[in-house]
Structure formats: C-alpha cells, structure tokens
Amino acid sequence: MFLGNGLLYPIIGFASCVAFIYMSFGDLDLSFDYRFSEPKMSFVGRNGTQFFVDGRAFYVNGWNSWWLMDQAVEDFSRPRVREMFQAAARMGLTVCRTWAFNDGAYNALQLSLGQFDERVFQALDYVIVEARRQQIRLLLSLSDDLPSVGGKRQYVKWAWEDGISLSSSNDSFFFDPSIKSYFKNYLKTILTRKNHLTGIEYRDDPTIFAWELMNEPRCTTDQSGDTLQEWIEDMSKYVKSIDRNHLVTIGLEGFYGPRSPPEKLSLNPGEWFSTLGTDFIRNSKISTIDFTSVHIYPDQWMIETELDEKTKYISKWIISHIEDGERELKKPVLFSEFGLSNKNKKFDHSHRDIFYQSIYDLIYKSASKNGAGAGAIIWQLIAEGMEEYNDDFGFVPKERPSLFRLLKKQSCRLARIHYGKDWERRGSPYSC
Ligand SMILES: *[C@@H]1O[C@H](CO)[C@@H](O)[C@H](O)[C@H]1NC(C)=O
Ligand SMILES: *[C@@H]1O[C@H](CO)[C@@H](O)[C@H](O)[C@H]1NC(C)=O
C-alpha cells in the first residue's frame, strides 16, 4: 500500500506536548523485567501448504499496522502500541504485519548508510515485547518498493551520495552490488539485534512470525523478471544463512508474469500487470521462500466497477492463488493486504462488511479443508488519536462495531480449526 507523504513528518504541536507529560508517567512499566514474564511461545513452521505451531495447523487472522515502531519511539505516542495490541487481542487476531525498517525518514531506524539509531531499535524491541504479551506474532517487513519511510529509493539515493555510478533507475536497488551489500548489512544488523528488554536476539525470537523481504516489489525495468528473481534468491538465502528459525516471504502482490499460462494471465486485473518484473508463481517457487503472499485492492485495479463486480473478481483472484499454492507451489498463500477504499464514489460502510466477509469466507473454506489459503491480513487498523496516519482504508476497530464483530467471528472459527471444537470450554482467551 502506498503511504502518503503527509505522514512522514508529523507536526508535534502543543497538544502533543501536554499528552507527552501525561503519558510519560503512564508508561512506567518499561522498567519491568520482561525476562521473567514472557508468555511461552514457539516458532511458526511450515509443513507443505500449511503453517504449523505446537503440532497443529495455524491459520492467520491478522492485521496491518505499519506504524508501530514509529509510534513507539516517542513517549507521547508509545501507549498506542499497547492499545493496538490489546484491541487486536480482543478480536482474537494472531498476526500483525508491520514495518521493521525506516531508512532516512522521520524517526529513522537507519539514519544513514549503516548508522542505526539505538533509540529507534529500542522502540522496535518494545513493539516485539508488547506483541508477545498479547500472544500476537509479527510479520516484519524489511523494505518497501514504494516511496514511504525509506526502502528501495532511499538506498539508491544513498548510493548516489556515496559516489557510486548507477543507471538512473531506482531498480538498481535490485542489481547494483554495492546496494545489495548495503541492504545485506541492514539484514544482518536486524537479524542479530539483541532485544534490550528481553536479551533475545531477533533471529531467536518466536514472537516474529516471519520476515518479509520487501513490501510490493516491482522491477519494471526488467520485464523478463530475471533481475527480481535473482534478488529474491540472493536475499532470501542470505536471511536463511543467519536465521534458521524463521519463515521467509517476499511481499508480492500476486500478479502473474509473462511465463504464466494464458488462463492465469487473464486473471490479472489488466494486461499491464504482467509487465511489472514480478511473477507470482516463478518467484514463489524459490526454495528459500517458505510461503507466498497476495494483495487485494480492487478499488485501485478496477476503478469504475460496482461492488458486486469487484467481489466476484476478487473471489476468482483468491481461489486461483490458493490453487497455485496447492498444485504448483506446495506452499501456504497468505493474503497479506486487503482493503476497500472509502474514497469510492458510492462508498458506504456496509460495503466493507460485505467485501471483507467474502474474503474471510474463502479463507475459512480453504482452512476447513486443510487448504493452502493460510489466512488474511486486513489493511489497516489504527489506534485512537492518530488520524494523520490513516489512509482511505484504515479504521479504529471500536469505532466500527460491525467490522469488529466480523474480525472476531473469523478469529473464532479459525481458532476452532486450530484447537478443536471444545476450545471455548477449555477457556479461550477471548469470548467467542
Ligand atoms: C506433515 O504433513 C504430513 C502430511 O499431512 C504428515 O504426515 C506429517 O506428519 C507432518 N509433519 C509434521 C512435522 O507435522
Ligand atoms: C527514484 O525515486 C525518487 C524518489 O521517489 C524519485 O524522485 C526519482 O524520480 C526516481 N528515479 C527514477 C529514474 O524514476
């Protein structure tokens, strides 16, 4: 998802200063010793087309909140992190996808090439600890193709400033040897980061569900797909060489590339989508990629279409990718972003209920047959008082009771698959 530039430099006004003074007294348990209070957790693994944890299949009902590390940096906004995890736990959500990078933007983790801000790393440490307290796991994204809080374009900019001669394209991120080594340096730094609250290195922390190499990678300057394919192979292998515990995924949107059969190509939202240098099947087959991902944005793909057309289309989109997971890839397929924009001409809040329900039904159907549809992650949830971080997809769960109920219902029925039918009677952590 594209993040508007407005939110990169939030203005901290007088009101926030008052909140700052108040909140810094409200959050004293940062000094709490987490080493003795960490709830037990195991790593999520994979067996064929399913995620596994503690010997049972694990289906994801999750949400995106890209902003957690950012909000955890400063005292006035840090309580939003806990609030978000608590709200999610009340809906039974189990996985949060969030950004574990910020290259050179406001509150940057990587201030300049290879220079990391300890203060921001401590914020990420805090996010991980708060997730674990609520028994929630994190899908951590490591860079972005889009101009957001760093990622591809920032690395290329740094390379220019470093005097490296490059082609003018931002796609040199994917093939320039110096840039690849800059990115590997960041990968190594984050994978071996020792959490200052728990003493656990990130690579050894089961709170992390998986690593995602990049949000929505595209490499339009090489439509054959070879450049991106090599980058994914190289980077995923590198992550695995340092971290043997965690699953790795790419961050794909799911478009079919030029090598796909015609019946698959015709499922792309338009012909143009096969020219982005990505290829869902080919990319996802790489052996160091454990599971794959698909995004769902019919508003952006088919602008003038009515809701029921969109719903019909995305149903085919989802079923096709689940089939790929089962037949071609033998890997789980995670629908890691989906959303319906409130900027649609005829938008009504009830449209989201209908649209999201249709996605959850397909995931549930796949899950109840032990299929490859591994779960869905909504874009996006926000905490109260952070409208400047919202886009046309986000909402505060308690302000949308029907969606709150819908998300919870999905958690409940997936949990019954995971734990068995008498789950409630054995004392579930939230009421179903
Ligand atoms: C993986 O799945 C196969 C087939 O369903 C099963 O026989 C095997 O025991 C599973 N392995 C583990 C480690 O769960
Ligand atoms: C690379 O990205 C930067 C930042 O978004 C942009 O200003 C620039 O035009 C891009 N370069 C090319 C060649 O597209």
Atom of ligand 2 nearest to the CA of 170: 1
Instruction: Output the residue whose Cα is nearest ligand 1's atom 7.
Output: 47
Instruction: Output the residue whose Cα is nearest ligand 2's atom 10.
Output: 170
- Cβ of residue 153 lying under 6 Å from some atom of ligand 2: yes
State the average pLDDT over residues 225-235.
98
pLDDT at 35 (0 to 100): 52
pLDDT at 427 (0 to 100): 65
- Residue 157 Cα to ligand 2 midpoint, Å, equals 9
Active site residues: 216, 337
253-307 pLDDT tens trace: 999 999 999 999 999 999 999 999 999 999 999 999 999 999 999 999 988 889 9
State the average pLDDT over residues 120-127.
98
The 8-class DSSP code of residue 254 comes to -
C-alpha 154/C-alpha 294 separation (Å) is 25
Range with lowest mean pLDDT among 126-130, 236-240, 299-303, 320-324: 299-303
Question: Beta-carbon neighbour count of residue 16 at 10 Å?
Answer: 15
pLDDT bucket at 164, cuts 50 / 70 / 90: confident
Identify the nearest ligand to the CA of 153 by its number: 2
pLDDT at 224 (0 to 100): 96
pLDDT bucket at 18, cuts 50 / 70 / 90: very low
Please indicate whether residue 303 or residue 98 has the higher confidence score (pLDDT): 98
Atom of ligand 1 nearest to the CA of 55: 14
- Residue 387 Cα to ligand 2 midpoint, Å, equals 28
Dig out the tokens for 358 from the structure: 């249709």
pLDDT at 40 (0 to 100): 86
Instruction: Output the residue whose Cα is nearest ligand 2's atom 1.
Output: 170
- Residue 182 Cα to ligand 2 midpoint, Å, equals 19
Confidence check: pLDDT of 100 > 60: yes
- Residue 33 Cα to ligand 2 midpoint, Å, equals 45
> What are 292's strand-pairing partners?
333
Percent of residues, the chain, with pLDDT higher than 70: 90
State the average pLDDT over residues 213-234.
98
Q: Which helix (H) or strand (E) holds 242?
A: helix 226-242
Identify the nearest ligand to the CA of 55 by its number: 1
Atom of ligand 1 nearest to the CA of 47: 1
- Cβ of residue 115 lying under 6 Å from some atom of ligand 2: no
Identify the nearest ligand to the CA of 166 by its number: 2
Confidence check: pLDDT of 425 > 80: no
C-alpha 63/C-alpha 41 separation (Å) is 20
Instruction: Output the residue whose Cα is nearest ligand 1's atom 3.
Output: 47
Instruction: Output the residue whose Cα is nearest ligand 2's atom 12.
Output: 169
Dig out the tokens for 248 from the structure: 């790795």
Residue in 85, 10, 89 with CA at minimum distance from that of residue 387: 10
Test site for ligand 2: of 2, 166, 170, 174, most ligand atoms within 8 A of the Cβ: 170
Please indicate whether residue 19 or residue 366 has the higher confidence score (pLDDT): 366
Test site for ligand 2: of 3, 153, 161, most ligand atoms within 8 A of the Cβ: 153
387-411 pLDDT tens trace: 999 999 999 999 999 999 999 999 9
- Residue 48 Cα to ligand 1 midpoint, Å, equals 8
Confidence check: pLDDT of 122 > 50: yes
- Cβ of residue 49 lying under 6 Å from some atom of ligand 2: no
Write out residues with Cβ below 6 Å of ligand 1: 47-48, 52
pLDDT at 23 (0 to 100): 39
Range with lowest mean pLDDT among 16-25, 55-64, 200-209: 16-25
Confidence check: pLDDT of 36 > 70: no
CATH-assigned architecture of domain 41-426: Alpha-Beta Barrel (3.20)
Asked whether the beta carbons of 134 and 93 are under 8 A apart, the reply is no
- Cβ of residue 46 lying under 6 Å from some atom of ligand 2: no
The 8-class DSSP code of residue 128 comes to H
pLDDT bucket at 29, cuts 50 / 70 / 90: very low
pLDDT bucket at 432, cuts 50 / 70 / 90: confident
Pure H helices in 302-348: 307-324
Distances (CA, A) of 148 to 102, 160, 263: 9, 19, 34
Tokens 């693994």 correspond to what residue? 45
- Annotated domain spans of the chain: 1-32, 41-426
Please indicate whether residue 215 or residue 426 has the higher confidence score (pLDDT): 215
Instruction: Output the residue whose Cα is nearest ligand 1's atom 2.
Output: 47
Single-letter amino acid, residue 27? D
Range with lowest mean pLDDT among 4-18, 95-109, 226-240, 271-285: 4-18
